[in-house]
Structure 1
Amino acid sequence: MARKIRHIPKVVTKLYRKDFYHQPGTLPGTIFIDENAEPPTIFLIDYNQTNFIRKQIATPEECAPYLDTESVSWVDVQGLGNQDILQRLGRVFDLHPLVLEDVVNVPERPKIEDYEDQLLFIARMVVPKDKTCGFYSEQVSFILSKNYLLTVQEEPEHDCFEGVRVRIDRNKGIIRKQRTDYLAYALLDAIIDGFFPVLELYGERIEELEEEVMVNPTRQTLQNIYQVRRELLQLRRAIWPQRDAINSLIRDGSELIGEEVRIYLRDCYDHAVQVMDMVETYRELASGLMDVYLSSVSNKMNEIMKVLTVVSSIFIPLTFVAGIYGMNFNTEKSPYNMPELNWYWGYPICLAIMAAIAFALLFFFWQRGWLKNSSTIKPD
């Protein structure tokens, strides 16, 4: 057996993700295809200031005529489920075997590699689920050259590039006037900005959990807090190396990245730092919710024990009175042997005394403030 791969669903519902790894001694550059991966679909967008072409490509070889033109060519491959197509794609674009390995064998840690005439950038893209907390996560690989940009997405269902496609199609902004390095920046910026809608959902979810923890914490609340913490950890693992890779690209530079685009990359880096700060803040809030939950449960238990203690304290003297008059000493033997047993109003008087004792104790507890609920926290 030459490999070990565990298929991981794109929806982040698991707490842990088992990464791909090679068996020791595997030949460098070897690619492995997940049997559950989607078959690749190839899309081409070729443009300049005046012309625009957008179409689906049937074979990798059809991309070759667009690679040496003066226009900008964006080849977007969606899916990693066909080894033959991916290898042919590597030959058409003259990809180094290690580049193709990094692109296909997912997940890879976000990073940047300079291959002189090509620049490899591996990023992780997240897309929020519809109206629910959670997100789809996939790897996106950028292979940047002078006249073309090749992007390889892990799966075709979700991406955050539609805004960039619309800008190219409608010739909005300066994107049609720029080269491939600006296109790569625009796509990378869309990936970084895609973290903000996801974090907005988690901010709302944390607010709901705060109210739930304060008002009515349950075991399900604890499970929800734990799930949010683990998913925020997944986001942190995605954005942390991505931020470092962008910083490395700005600091070290590349012949394929112009000075003007490097200025734009600084703004992209600032967004990545902002995302990182938000992730860390939400993780601290989630950790604090865990402490608040434990305190709330402890206070709730204290209130239960207080009620039981008050009830027990009231019934202790009543039990004492009832126990005395339950001994039934014979009054004929001695006038001191519970003469109250022969009274006409003895039983009602005894009940009245017991009721008076109970109300007196309740009044005493109320005066001391022991009957108030001290564990309830009112949300703002």
Structure 2
Amino acid sequence: MEHKPAQTRLLKTVKHRRNAPGTSPGTVVAHPEAHPTKIRMMAYGLDEIIEQEMESVDQIKEFQNKWPVLWISVEGLKDVECLHQLGALFSLHPLMLEDIVSGHQRPKAEQYDSGLFIVARAALTLDDGIILEQISLVLGEGFVLSFQESSSNQLDPVRQRVRKKGGRIRKSRSDYLTYTLLDTIVDSFFPVLDKYNDRLDNYEDEVIQHPNRKMIDRIHGLKRDFLSLRRNVWPLRETLNTLIRERECFTDDTQLFLRDSYDHVVQIIDILDSHQERGSDLINIYLSSLSNKMNEVMKVLTMIATIFMPLGFIAGVYGMNFDREKSPFNMPELSWYLGYPFALGLMATTAILFLFYFKRKGWLSKK
């Protein structure tokens, strides 16, 4: 899939191709730039575990219905034929396969005859930014299917917990594995929020000391990121709320854990709202900084104009062309030997007095 980085944003835009209008529902069309498909299998019980990478879907049959929990992880959605074979093996509805491949689905939970279908989005941190990856889950009797758009390590913490003997996940059914996957997806947003928090802290210092046009562009980029994240997290809240009320697929014990994930989603939304307010405050600080900077410039210009006003008055008085021969009162200083030094001294004294007055008032200080 095509990543188009934006200089002012951490969140990268990933474009997904939609089916053409009028396409038959359930049509599965992979994106031309989709990642190659890789299938990983984990079959486990309380005391035993088998983990291997599958070369074909047919290899899964020998593990199906023979283990307490069977987890099939599909990474990359380029091989449409492979997805159809998985759909046939686990009786997946064509609409499920279409939503899995499309990559632009809203987080949701839907019940089908073959199992519970869940769509969520995880935050994936890259070297040059952050992307949101769709992860689809299918919870059935004794199995869980997970579909990722790329071969990321997003679900590796879950695999490590499965490998650890004696953990709760090894003692539980497939519904607890589904919860664990959802919890990992939800918690993927917290490092991203910490990264945004650090960036906001840096911007708060910079926007006061060095306000500029590039800074306001970056702040607007962050605000757009927060809106995008919130649009993807808010439906996840509704999805978990639906799963909490799902009595058929989840045990009472697992539902307690789902409530914890729901609380995490609410916390993420609160943090995003807080970051959004901080972004708005940064814009106000930026505008205030510009206004203060303009006031400083106007203050300097006003002081300069104030100093030169009396100097201009003195120069104007002595620049009047009165005939000294007509009256002894017509500027006798003009014929004085020290008249010119006197006028310059008067101007300098006036300027010094004004500067002294400004300093006493504190107008010359940068504080």
Do the two structures share a fold, i.e. TM-score over 0.5?
A: yes
* 2:61 maps to 1:68: no
Offset from partner CA, 1:156-215 (integer Å, 9 cap, x none): 1x3432211111122252111111111111111111111111111111111111111222
Contact kept, 8 Å, 2:4 with 2:14, in 1: the verdict is no
Q: 1:306 maps to which residue?
A: 299
SS in 2 for 1:38: coil
CA distance in 1, matches of 2:320, 2:13: 68
Contact kept, 8 Å, 1:239 with 1:272, in 2: the verdict is yes
Quote the offset at 1:300 in angstroms.
Answer: 1.1
SS in 2 for 1:313: helix
* 2:169 maps to 1:175: yes
CA distance in 2, matches of 1:363, 1:19: 68
Q: 1:138 maps to which residue?
A: 133
Contact kept, 8 Å, 2:12 with 2:130, in 1: the verdict is no
Quote the offset at 1:19 in angstroms.
Answer: 6.3
List runs of 5+ in structure 1 lacking aligned partners: 1-5
| Partner of residue 103 from structure 2, selected from 106, 112, 118 | 106
Offset from partner CA, 1:317-355 (integer Å, 9 cap, x none): 112222333456564565444332332322222121111
Q: 1:340 maps to which residue?
A: 333
Distance 1:151 1:248, change over 3 A: same
| Partner of residue 359 from structure 1, selected from 330, 346, 352 | 352
What CA RMSD, in Å, does the superposition of the two structures yield over aligned residues? 2.3
CA distance in 2, matches of 1:368, 1:182: 71
1:266 partner amino acid: R
* 2:82 maps to 1:85: yes
CA distance in 2, matches of 1:326, 1:10: 67
2:190 partner amino acid: F
Spell out the pairing of 1:114-129 with structure 2 (5 A cutoff).
114-129=111-126
Distance 1:32 1:40, change over 3 A: same
Distance 1:328 1:60, change over 3 A: farther
* 2:52 maps to 1:59: no
Aligned residues: 365
Q: 1:226 maps to which residue?
A: 220
Q: 1:3 maps to which residue?
A: none
Quote the offset at 1:303 in angstroms.
Answer: 1.4
Contact kept, 8 Å, 1:10 with 1:136, in 2: the verdict is no
Contact kept, 8 Å, 2:11 with 2:131, in 1: the verdict is no
TM-score by length of 2: 0.92
* 2:37 maps to 1:43: no
CA distance in 2, matches of 1:44, 1:372: 71
Quote the offset at 1:269 in angstroms.
Answer: 0.8
Contact kept, 8 Å, 1:69 with 1:147, in 2: the verdict is no
Contact kept, 8 Å, 2:93 with 2:114, in 1: the verdict is no
Relative to structure 2, which stretch is displaced further, 109-118 or 14-23?
14-23
Spell out the pairing of 1:143-292 with structure 2 (5 A cutoff).
143-156=138-151, 158-171=152-165, 173-251=167-245, 253-292=246-285
CA distance in 2, matches of 1:26, 1:267: 40
Contact kept, 8 Å, 2:107 with 2:235, in 1: the verdict is yes
Q: 1:323 maps to which residue?
A: 316
Quote the offset at 1:106 in angstroms.
Answer: 1.3
CA distance in 1, matches of 2:339, 2:126: 74
CA distance in 2, matches of 1:279, 1:217: 24
Quote the offset at 1:9 in angstroms.
Answer: 5.1
Relative to structure 2, which stretch is displaced further, 338-347 or 238-247?
338-347
Contact kept, 8 Å, 2:107 with 2:236, in 1: the verdict is yes
List runs of 5+ in structure 2 lacking aligned partners: none
SS in 1 for 2:259: helix
2:53 partner amino acid: Q
TM-score by length of 1: 0.89
Give the share of equivalent positions with the same residue, in percent. 42
CA distance in 1, matches of 2:322, 2:216: 59
CA distance in 2, matches of 1:175, 1:356: 88
CA distance in 2, matches of 1:352, 1:16: 69
Distance 1:214 1:52, change over 3 A: same
Offset from partner CA, 1:237-266 (integer Å, 9 cap, x none): 121100110011102x14221121111111
Quote the offset at 1:267 in angstroms.
Answer: 0.9
SS in 2 for 1:239: helix
